[in-house]
Structure 1
Amino acid sequence: MNYPIGSFIKKYFSHYLPTQKGLSSNTILAYRDAVKLLLCYAADILNKSVAELYVEDINESCVLKFLDCLEMTKKCSSRTRNARLAAIKSLFAFISREEPVLIIQCQQIQSIPLKRTKYRLIQYLEEKEMQAMLNAVDINSSNGTRDQALLLLLYNTGARVSEIAGIKLNDLQLNGSAQVKLMAKGKKERSFPLWPETVLALKNYIKTRSPKHINTNSVFLNSNGLPVSRFGIRYLVRKYGLLAQEKLPSMPVVTPHMIRHTTAMHLLRAGNDINMISYWLGHVDINTTHIYVEIDMEMKRKMLDNLESPSASAETPWQKPDILDWLDQLKNRLNYVE
């Protein structure tokens, strides 16, 4: 007996992930994209339509070939490959619970190992570079107050781009003990105190905020008065990063996540405990936060300055006199004369 894969997929995405697992919409959509790619690949190599695919069609060999295709043909990185594989493993773990007859096939797919990825040092901005980005905003332009408030909030909170895009008006408290509430990964709420500069920028922006629909509750809007998207925020951050590069050519290309790293590094340099920075960033595992200690060259220099260097001889090392070099070449000179 063969089992159509479509029936499992519908229940997996419509009930299991959102209801039983309680995953965020962004995670569910990422899993959806991975499964769509796998189904299309399997249908192509088997010369079937997607609707005709059975669970038995997508075995360990098929998944391995799909992963190779991602890397070789589509030029995906090992990290992307691993993310796709994680989604596929989750699907087949669900199928094995729904239909025990398929457990061996599902276990074979679940046993496919993740690929080792290259360790990359994260990038962040120095204080003067972050300030150059903020200075690049023309406050008198049509969206200047919005862009200033957005950049300040990103830097102030170290939030992920999806968290900033999802902020609602009722998440802001701009009077008294000013703070903002964010919905983090895993539907966890986090609150942050705000700098006076951030509060002032947000107040100035909200005065001029013009939503297309009166009931729009999102704080940041695009030029059409609609809630700004993650891609819109990335565009704005890149735009002001490029403007800042005109004064500081050594600046890297800036992304919203780089500003998140920047906040973490600057908090660390200010003497804050690594555990508190982990809470600030919303890291589940503190080992994720330790990377900031690893890459801070300024802190490493200070550590080395506190260590007394060993004594070493200051005498000039012996060097071969020129006359000895000349004598070494004498044989060649004599051969040339002969």
Structure 2
Amino acid sequence: MDGIARHLFDLGYKPSSAKLYISRLGRFSEFLGHNARSTVISQGVIDRFMLSLHVGSPRVAARTVIEHARNIVPDRFSTPARRVIADPDGPLLAAYLDHLRHVRGLEPKTCEGILKGARRILTWLRDHLPGQPFSAITGEHVLALMQHLLSLSANHYTRSATTSYTRGFLRFLRWSELNGQDLARFVPRTPCWRLAHLPPRLSWQNIQRAIDAIDISEPSGTRDKAIMLMLATTGLRNRELRVLELQDIHWRTAEVIVRRTKGKRDRVVPLLDEAGAALADYILHARPRVVSALVFLSYSPPARPFKCAASISRIVRSRLEQGGVELSGPAGAHLLRHSLATQLVQQRRPINEVADLLGHRSIDTTAIYVKVALPQLTGVALPFPGGVS
């Protein structure tokens, strides 16, 4: 019992929460004394204990602490045999993932999206070519497949991505000698004009108002203020913020080393005074006391790093809404990144400087922000033919 209590405190549970879980574990121990005939706790005994709890809330707490106990003393529990459902596409997708990672050199996050697309393709092929090998796929099948996949796409971005991952998967089939034809040539090309829209953005006044409205009397407020300022002043991507480590902050030089970036190269971004002060306040006074090299941690027990991008996006959107900022679309880390880039371009900062700050490998990626630099654009606009009538 003492070991489990220490385990809960090490994970960052509050004393009140740990006390609740320990009480549930004590109740489970008392139940075992009357109902368990063996020293090894079976899943059946756990299920009977859950049924003895007539309210839903105690069941949740009991289930949670029993799982913690299972992790600490696994020899006291019998592991139920899990039914493994064979995945007919598993071996092929595993080979495709190996191809994406080691032949094409793609990042794991990119591979996740491509594998989802490949699974959609395999599902369609199984429904329309049941029991037939990949060598039976023809150009006619590819056209029918694309008609189905494109019908599921909502805009030209998803349509372009759909044709791209389909073309890549068909090339993999040929590369792995599962189909000798060049089926990728039957995939139509869908137009996608990257510079045809304006990037979503907020004014610095709105961002500053939202940051000033954060209540830093609570630890979560201190953390969220640091997150908002880091995103708004450095242009970090969502993942770059989540994997930021304590050793990457160079306080004396007021710099942050951004590692494992989308462009596969490290870069240095400046740490402004306001962002540095908020970050130091969070690390010294509000950061959970757990063993982790990462800077930003979740307060939901057990305290741990943020695993998914949605967690950071929820924080950004919530803080913007609480600050009275009207949002007309998705709001996450990238909205603050777009806003910073737009602000720098409007301040007539060199475009290559903006590209270096954002970590763009190609300056063409940064060119979209030039479209919102109206003062500069009016200076290079040609006069209307024939003059003003």
TM-score in terms of structure 2 length: 0.67
**Paired residues for 1:65-84 under 5 Å:** 65-72=144-151, 74-84=152-162
Aligned-residue Cα RMSD (Å) equals 3.0
**Paired residues for 1:1-338 under 5 Å:** 7-13=91-97, 15-46=98-129, 48=130, 54-56=133-135, 58-72=137-151, 74-99=152-177, 102-104=179-181, 107-117=182-192, 119-207=196-284, 208-210=286-288, 214-224=290-300, 225-228=303-306, 229-244=308-323, 246=324, 248-249=325-326, 254-301=331-378
Give the paired residue count.
Answer: 296
Deviations 1:221-279 (A, max 9, x none): 112212112110111111122223x3x54876533212111111111122211112122
Q: Distance in 1 between matches of 2:280 and 2:138?
A: 56
Q: 1:60 to 1:150 in 2, by over 3 A?
A: farther
Q: Distance in 2 between matches of 1:226 and 1:297?
A: 44
Deviations 1:159-201 (A, max 9, x none): 2212112212222222344323232114221221110111111
Deviations 1:137-163 (A, max 9, x none): 211133011101111111122122121
Q: Distance in 1 between matches of 2:263 and 2:387?
A: 54
**Residue 312 of structure 1: CA displacement?**
6.4
**Residue 86 of structure 1: CA displacement?**
1.7
Compare 52-61 and 154-163 and name the one that shifted more.
Answer: 52-61
8 Å Cα contact 2:224/2:315 also seen in 1: yes
Q: 1:163 to 1:250 in 2, by over 3 A?
A: closer
Q: 1:187 to 1:59 in 2, by over 3 A?
A: farther
Q: 1:58 to 1:199 in 2, by over 3 A?
A: farther
Q: Which runs of 5+ in 1 are unaligned?
A: 314-338
TM-score in terms of structure 1 length: 0.77
Match of 2:47 in 1: none
Q: Kindly provide the amino acid, as one letter, of the partner of residue 64 in structure 1.
A: L
Q: Which is greater in Rg? A: 1
Q: Distance in 2 between matches of 1:42 and 1:90?
A: 16
Compare 138-147 and 15-24 and name the one that shifted more.
Answer: 15-24
Q: Kindly provide the amino acid, as one letter, of the partner of residue 270 in structure 1.
A: Q
- What's the secondary structure of 2:198's corresponding residue? coil
% identical equivalent positions: 25
Q: Distance in 1 between matches of 2:374 and 2:164?
A: 34
**Residue 71 of structure 1: CA displacement?**
3.9
8 Å Cα contact 1:220/1:227 also seen in 2: yes
- What's the secondary structure of 1:102's corresponding residue? coil
Q: Distance in 1 between matches of 2:375 and 2:215?
A: 32
8 Å Cα contact 2:263/2:360 also seen in 1: no
8 Å Cα contact 1:164/1:182 also seen in 2: no
Q: Kindly provide the amino acid, as one letter, of the partner of residue 305 in structure 2.
A: P
Match of 2:25 in 1: none
Q: Distance in 2 between matches of 1:173 and 1:53?
A: 59
Q: Which runs of 5+ in 2 are unaligned?
A: 1-87
Deviations 1:264-310 (A, max 9, x none): 11111222111121222222221221111112334435667x989x9
